Amino acid sequence: MNDKSTRRQFLDRTGRIIGFTAIGSAAGLLARRASGNAVYQVDPFKCTSCDLCRTSCVLSLSAVKAVNDFEKCGYCMLCPAYMDVNSRPDEKGIPAGKVCPQDALKRRVVGAVDQDDPNNNYYEYVVDETRCDGCGKCVKACKPPAGNGSLRLEIRYTRCVECNECAIQIACPDRAIVSVPAPGMAPMESPVEGKKS
């Protein structure tokens, strides 16, 4: 009896020592490589608006949203991301078709307003995030030369669940989902100038 329990105790103790050593060394090895907190973000220079952001995200409404960079936006009346410029024009001569299938791009007229001539105004474009599903059609339409390239797809951290592995990252054919360190991460620039944060 005593021998058995002592031997068992010895084995248990040895096992614990081995266990703690293994855990400790593995944890230590990884801790040296650890970055404070890594989050996922879309690299706008690589993104080709392939629509996989909409379908690959584990959430039913993707955490990827289109975002308008107001400093780059042209505030065009005939925004190529808002309206499908190739669709049939209405009686005022403005194309009637919309690019966004969810009607998530909203606009309002701003600045000095001319009520009689819509062509004579600037419009502010904002993405409605409760409707946007990250398909990227507006982003593709806004790319130069058609637009100013102010719209880009971005992972919104109020929605991203921070999975162990980003499902969009697996699916993306352009390797556009990157892990970046956070917090204090500056948002990436819209892909017009050859510079990114």
Partner 1 sequence: MDVTEEKTTSGAVWERLRKSWFPPAAVMGAFAAFIAAAFRIRPEPKPPAAPPDPAIEAGPAIDDGMAARRLDRAYALSSVLGGAASAHPFRQSLAGIAVGAGDAVYALGDNEVRVFDAGGNFVRSWKAASNACCIAAAPDGRICLGAAERVEIYDAAGKHVGGFTAGEKDRPADITAIKILGKEILVADASARIIRRYDATGRPLGLIGTENKTGKFILPNKSLDIAVDARGVIRATDTGRHQVTAWALDGTLMGKFGKFGMADPADFVGCCNPVNLAITPDGKVVTAEKMVARVKVYEPDGRLLGLIGPENFDPACIHIHLAVDAGGRILAADPVRREIRIFARVPGAGPAIGMRDSVDRSLVEILRA
Partner 2 sequence: MAVLATGVLFAQYQKKPPDFGGTYSFPTPEHPEPRAAWVHVLDIVMLAAGLGLAAWLILKRRSRPGVLVLSIGAIAYFGFYRRGCICPIGAIQNVTLSLVDPRYMISAGVIVFFFLPLAAALLFGRVFCGGVCPLGAVQDFVLLRPVRVPRRLDRALSWLPYIYLGLAVWFAGWGLHLKIGALQVQWGRRFLICEWDPFIGLFRISGPFHMLAIGAGFILAGMFIGRPYCRWLCPYGGLLAILARVSWKNVSITPDKELDCGLCADACPYGAIRNLRADRASCLACARCYEYCPRELETRGGPGGGDTLVQVKP
Residues that bind partner 1 (CB under 8 A): 59-61, 74-80, 84-89, 93-98, 100-104, 111-114, 116-117, 119-122, 130-131, 133, 144-148, 159
Closer by beta carbon to partner 1, 34 or else 161: 161
Token pair of 9 as six digits: 């105790």
Token pair of 130 as six digits: 């409760």
Closer by beta carbon to partner 2, 88 or else 145: 145
In whole angstroms, what is the distance from residue 24 CA to residue 36 CA?
A: 19
Q: Exposed, middle or buried: residue 128 (CB in 10 Å: 0-12, 13-18, 19+)? A: middle
19 binds, among partner 1, partner 2, none (CB under 5 to 8 A by kind): partner 2
The residues of the shown chain that bind partner 2, judged by CB under 8 A, are: 11-16, 19-20, 23, 26-27, 29-31, 33-39, 58-60, 67-73, 75, 110-113, 122, 124, 126, 144, 148-150, 154, 156-158, 160-165, 170, 179, 181-185, 187, 192-195
Beta-carbon contacts of 188 under 8 Å, excluding residues fewer than 6 positions away, are 41, 42, 43, 44, 152, 154, 196, 197
Amino acid at 186: A
Q: How far is CA 76 from CA 72, 125, 142, 180, in A?
A: 11, 9, 11, 33
Closer by beta carbon to partner 1, 2 or else 115: 115
CB of 183 to partner 1, least distance (A): 24
Under 8 Å between Cβ of 121 and 113? yes
27 binds, among partner 1, partner 2, none (CB under 5 to 8 A by kind): partner 2
Amino acid at 160: C
How many C-beta neighbours within 10 Å does residue 151 have? Answer: 30
How many C-beta neighbours within 10 Å does residue 110 have? Answer: 11
95 binds, among partner 1, partner 2, none (CB under 5 to 8 A by kind): partner 1
6 binds, among partner 2, partner 1, none (CB under 5 to 8 A by kind): none
Closer by beta carbon to partner 1, 83 or else 176: 83
43 binds, among partner 1, partner 2, none (CB under 5 to 8 A by kind): none
